[in-house]
Amino acid sequence: MNKYIKMMTAGVMLTGMLTLAACSSGGGGESSPSPSATASPSVPPSAAASLVPATSAASPAASDAAASGSPGGSAAPSAAASPAPGGGMGQNTAAQLKELLELAKQGKAPDIPFAAHTGLIDDVKQAWGEPDKEEGAGKGIYATYSAKHAVIGFNKGSLIFDVRSSAADLQQLTLEQIEDTLGKPNDVKTSGNDSIYIYNAGAQYQLKFVIPKSTGKVDHISVFSEQDSINNMAG
């Protein structure tokens, strides 16, 4: 009897415990918020507006790129970046003509180390060898060195009085370029179809530009010492 009562009591206690457990799990749904409610907190409209990404127009990086002309910009290159085409005589030509006049004041022509009034034809022959040809012309004798683009005039006393050059760069010069830099010539002479434009180069020398009418460009220049063209030793 007592054993039966104990079994009944144990059964009642087990049933009560199960009922209490069921009430605890089933009636507490509101105390456990759903995952969606936790993950999606309420956001005020003003705060939501500040989270919208800025547009490219307001981006400092985009503004800097446009200001600096980086690739992708639509700004056209500055006109100053493209040099304007030059006209007339270049600076190199002007400098060349000024150098010619300065050399002429020393009795010299470009790339010819021998000077009129002070040099001797013997010095030329010692340095350059015998000329391609040697012939009398005008008041003296002229030695031609074709490979040097040079003709050296000397008198019977062997003193050089004329240094001529027909270098290729000289043959590009025109009268207009010459006058633009050196001004009007001191004298103009003609010899056959050639016009000779003469500039004084100090008291001792003349710088001559010989220009054929057929080309309108310099054929050769001459650095001339007139006083030495008259040979006092001539018989």
Q: Tell whether the model's pLDDT for residue 67 goes beyond 50.
A: no
Which pLDDT does position 9 carry in this prediction? Answer: 54
Q: Would 148 be classed as within a structural domain?
A: yes
For residue 10, what pLDDT is reported? 54
Instruction: Give the residue from 161, 126, 124, 123 showing the smallest Cα distance to 141.
Output: 161
8-state DSSP, 219:
S
1: amino acid identity, one letter: M
* Cβ pair 131, 144 in contact under 8 A: yes
Four-residue CA torsion sign, 147, 179, 192, 100: negative
CB distance 160 to 116 below 8 Å: yes
Q: What is the mean pLDDT of residues 17-45?
A: 43
Name the residue range of residue 119's domain: 90-228
166, part of any domain: yes
235 in a domain, yes or no? no
Residue 23 lies in a domain: no
Percent of the chain with pLDDT strictly greater than 70: 60
Domain membership of residue 117 (yes or no) is: yes
Strands (E), the chain: 133-137, 140-145, 150-154, 160-165, 187-191, 194-201, 205-212, 220-224
- Rounded to the nearest integer, the mean pLDDT of the chain is 75
Q: For the chain, how many structural domains are there in total?
A: 1
Asked whether residue 18 is domain-assigned, the answer is no
**Binning pLDDT at 50, 70 and 90, where does residue 139 land?**
confident
Distance CA 210, CA 165 (A): 11
Instruction: Please state, in angstroms and rounded to a whole number, the distance separating the CA atoms of residues 105 and 204.
Output: 8
How far, in Å, CA of 187 to CA of 176, rounded? Answer: 16
Question: Burial, 125: exposed, middle or buried (Cβ in 10 Å; 0-12, 13-18, 19+)?
Answer: middle
Least confident of 78-87, 117-126, 203-212: 78-87
- What is the pTM assigned to this prediction? 0.61
DSSP class of 97: H
Instruction: For the chain, report the end-to-end CA distance as a whole number of angstroms.
Output: 181
Establish if 38 belongs to a structural domain: no
Does residue 75 fall inside a structural domain? no
Contact predicate 162/140, CB 8 Å: yes
pLDDT of residue 76: 37
**Helix axes 175-182 and 91-104, enclosed angle (nearest 10):** 70
**pLDDT-based confidence at 94, cuts 50/70/90?**
very high
